[in-house]
């Protein structure tokens, strides 16, 4: 692991030492034109863009200069960084991330102490108004001592660094919604980045941790179009968070048939039946897990036999037991759902056709359907 980390740092240093375009940097790392176009096609598909946009994405990314990125980590577990760096083989997504000018990241950078802070200040000054600020972790408001960097409180560092940012990407559920530190009783007074910064475009990329390709997809969109992608009401990119995990889950047919695993070792579990009764939050969770998957498209929790915890939704940590069926979702989760089950498995099946029709209308209009909406005609 240490050797891999050193190798990643050497690759990043070699790329950042030259003022190359992204296309030149990728070719330097051995990425073929064919491989690059395949990545652009996959990116277009993930962002729900027409295949006709692939050449435009390729041309924009190939000519793009490396954007300056300042990454701040506050109250977090480093899982969001690990999500990007823990790859067993080089990928185009990883190389694109390596090809940005990552000017400050206190977990990955070689500099420390005053030298590290000098690097952040230099990046802010030289790229004022154009750098991308990435933040993972929530900000404690009750006592700055819960989380400080170089003696600077998270709040002060955020306010200072956000001034010159072109856009802010809140990576992970902690930055997007407060995360685990915000869980009741929230002893640190943790809040999300969007509650503190009001004058900058903010893109939320929630997940605990988020999917790496979603982060690189947002960066690719910004490099291609110079704007942030279309967002939903929670500031999440619609391309990745527009549908519930339940909508794309391969176990969905078992749900529609009323076939559910009752325990983790019963016949239903062995046959791959729906995990709804074991607490799966897929019907109320919006993410691309079921389509992009994890570990280079290998699998995702439901495919591995574990119910979705709903980690990309606000307040998932206070939404009831992880292994309790959501016959009626609780608290904030019920207000952010686009699709949900009714008052139980049987009711959910009976209302399936009605709910799917109502949901289809909402998707076309880019609107949300709440639990109350789904239960109106129950």
Q: What confidence score (pLDDT) does residue 46 get? A: 65
Give the rounded distance of the alpha carbon of 164 from its chain centre: 23
Question: In the chain, how many domains are there?
Answer: 2
The answer on 256 and 193 residing in a single domain is no
Give the contacts of 8 (CB within 8 A, at least 6 positions apart): 85, 98
What is the full DSSP assignment across 281-321?
-GGG-B-SHHHH-BTTTTB-TTTTT-----TTSTTGGGSS-
- Angle between helix axes 212-225 and 54-63 (nearest 10 degrees) is 80
The answer on 302 and 215 residing in a single domain is no
Full residue range of the structural domain in which residue 115 is found: 2-241
Instruction: Going residue by residue through the chain, which has 378 residues, state the pLDDT in tens, using 9 for 90 and above.
Output: 444 444 444 434 433 444 667 777 777 777 788 888 887 887 777 666 778 888 888 888 777 777 788 999 999 999 888 887 765 444 655 655 666 778 898 888 878 888 889 999 999 999 999 899 999 999 999 988 899 998 899 999 999 999 999 999 999 999 999 999 999 999 999 999 999 999 999 999 999 999 888 887 888 788 777 788 899 999 999 989 999 999 999 999 999 999 999 999 999 999 999 999 999 999 999 999 998 888 778 899 999 999 999 999 999 988 878 898 886 333 333 333 333 344 333 433 444 444 455 455 545 444 444 444 444 444
The answer on 214 and 273 residing in a single domain is no
Q: What is the pTM of this model?
A: 0.74
What whole-number distance in Å separates Cα of residue 84 and Cα of residue 276?
A: 30
Tokens of 219: 């960066």
Judge contact between 294 and 288, C-beta under 8 A.
no
Can you give the CATH number for the domain in which 10 is found?
A: 3.40.50.700
- CA distances from residue 78 to 175, 239, 245 in whole angstroms, order as listed: 12, 25, 25
The answer on 249 and 237 residing in a single domain is no
> Of 241, 269, 286, which closes a domain?
241
What whole-number distance in Å separates Cα of residue 178 and Cα of residue 183?
A: 8
Q: What confidence score (pLDDT) does residue 33 get? A: 84
Q: What confidence score (pLDDT) does residue 55 get? A: 86
Nearest Cα to Cα of residue 59 among 229, 220, 212, 214: 220
The answer on 265 and 210 residing in a single domain is no
The answer on 264 and 228 residing in a single domain is no
Judge contact between 198 and 170, C-beta under 8 A.
no
> Of 241, 274, 303, which closes a domain?
241
């Amino acid at each position: 692991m240490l050797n891999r980390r050193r190798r990643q740092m050497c690759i990043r240093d070699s790329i950042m030492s030259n003022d190359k375009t992204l296309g030149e940097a990728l070719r330097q790392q051995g990425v073929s034109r064919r491989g690059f176009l395949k990545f652009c096609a996959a990116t277009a598909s993930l962002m729900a863009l027409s295949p006709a946009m692939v050449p435009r994405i390729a041309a924009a990314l190939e000519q793009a200069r490396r954007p300056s990125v300042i990454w701040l980590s506050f109250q977090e577990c480093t899982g969001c960084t690990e999500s990007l760096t823990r790859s067993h083989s080089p990928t185009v997504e990883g190389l694109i991330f390596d090809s940005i000018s990552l000017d400050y990241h206190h977990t990955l950078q070689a500099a420390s102490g005053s030298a590290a802070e000098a690097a952040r200040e230099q990046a802010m000054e030289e790229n004022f108004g154009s750098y991308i600020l990435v933040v993972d972790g929530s900000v404690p408001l009750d006592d700055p001592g819960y989380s400080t960097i170089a003696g600077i409180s998270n709040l002060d560092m955020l306010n200072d660094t956000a001034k010159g940012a072109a856009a802010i990407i809140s990576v992970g559920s902690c930055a997007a919604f407060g995360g685990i530190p915000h869980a009741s009783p929230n002893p640190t007074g943790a809040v999300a980045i969007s509650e503190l910064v009001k004058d900058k475009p903010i893109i939320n990329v929630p997940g605990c941790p988020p999917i790496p390709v979603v982060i690189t997809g947002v960066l690719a969109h910004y490099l291609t179009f110079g704007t942030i992608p279309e967002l939903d009401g929670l500031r999440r990119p619609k391309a990745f968070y527009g549908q519930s995990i339940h909508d794309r889950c391969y176990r969905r047919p078992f749900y529609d048939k009323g076939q559910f695993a009752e325990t983790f070792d019963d016949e239903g579990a062995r046959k791959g039946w729906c995990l709804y009764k074991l607490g799966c939050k897929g019907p109320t969770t919006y993410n691309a897990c079921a389509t992009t998957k994890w570990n280079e498209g290998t699998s995702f929790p439901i495919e591995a036999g574990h119910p979705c915890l709903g980690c990309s939704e606000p307040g998932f940590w206070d939404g009831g037991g992880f292994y309790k069926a959501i016959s009626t979702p609780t608290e904030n989760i019920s207000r952010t759902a686009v699709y949900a089950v009714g008052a139980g498995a049987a009711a959910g099946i009976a209302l399936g056709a009605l709910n799917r029709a109502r949901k289809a209308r909402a998707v076309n209009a880019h609107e949300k359907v709440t639990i109350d909406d789904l239960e109106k005609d129950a």
